[in-house]
Structure 1
Amino acid sequence: MQPLTRVVKLTLMPEHIEAFRQIFQEHKQHIAAFEGCLELNAYQDNQEPHVFFTISRWSHTQALDNYRYSEFFKLLWSRVKPMFAAKAVAHSMTVV
């Protein structure tokens, strides 16, 4: 199985930028500890500071799906989703 990279664009309401940064830092280690998570980072756009990208690498699709369908993810998503100014856009990719 080939590792995959997951890129998620998150457009926040400006008033939630700091809260999102804090939540990410609080939970980053827990997410990274999920079986199959190889790397996890969040990036803030320099031109549009209310736009973030999370980039994670997973050992295989099933590992990502196990995280995405976990109770932990559901609880975390329910905290951050109300902060969004637009729908999250996610892409899963493999190296060519």
Structure 2
Amino acid sequence: MLIRIVRMTFQPEKVADFLDVFEQSKEKIRARQGCHRLELLRDLNHSNVYLTYSYWDDEAALNAYRDSELFKTTWAKTKVLFADKPTAYSVERLQELA
């Protein structure tokens, strides 16, 4: 299982636009083959910083989404709203504490 975390800093006046884009695309992303979870998180101390947290079968499933028209159109709408360069991490869980 691959976990993908993307941290995005938006222009404060563009946050509502981003939330609209996310609302329009979230169910389509969640429905992608290989996607098991998609969450949107907001930084408690910076109201214009958001993170997506998603679970994918593997890198191939994530890349299939990243090569899709859905990603290309969603990302095009999103990246024009940034105040800073986004950062992305692909990680795997080594241990889970209950």
Q: Indicate whether 1:27 and 2:61 are aligned.
A: no
Give the root-mean-square deviation of aligned CA atoms. 0.7
Q: Give the structure-1-normalised TM-score.
A: 0.95
Q: 1:91: which partner in 2?
A: 89
Give secondary structure in 2 for the equivalent of 1:10.
strand
**Sequence identity (%):** 36
Q: Give the structure-2-normalised TM-score.
A: 0.93
Structure 2: gaps spanning 5 or more residues = none
Could you tell me how far 1:23 is from its partner in structure 2?
1.2
Aligned length: 94
Q: Hey, what's the Cα distance between the residues in 1 that align with 2:44 and 2:91?
A: 24
Runs of 4+ in 1 over 4 A off after TM superposition: none
Could you tell me how far 1:81 is from its partner in structure 2?
0.3
Q: 1:13: which partner in 2?
A: 11
Could you tell me how far 1:60 is from its partner in structure 2?
1.0
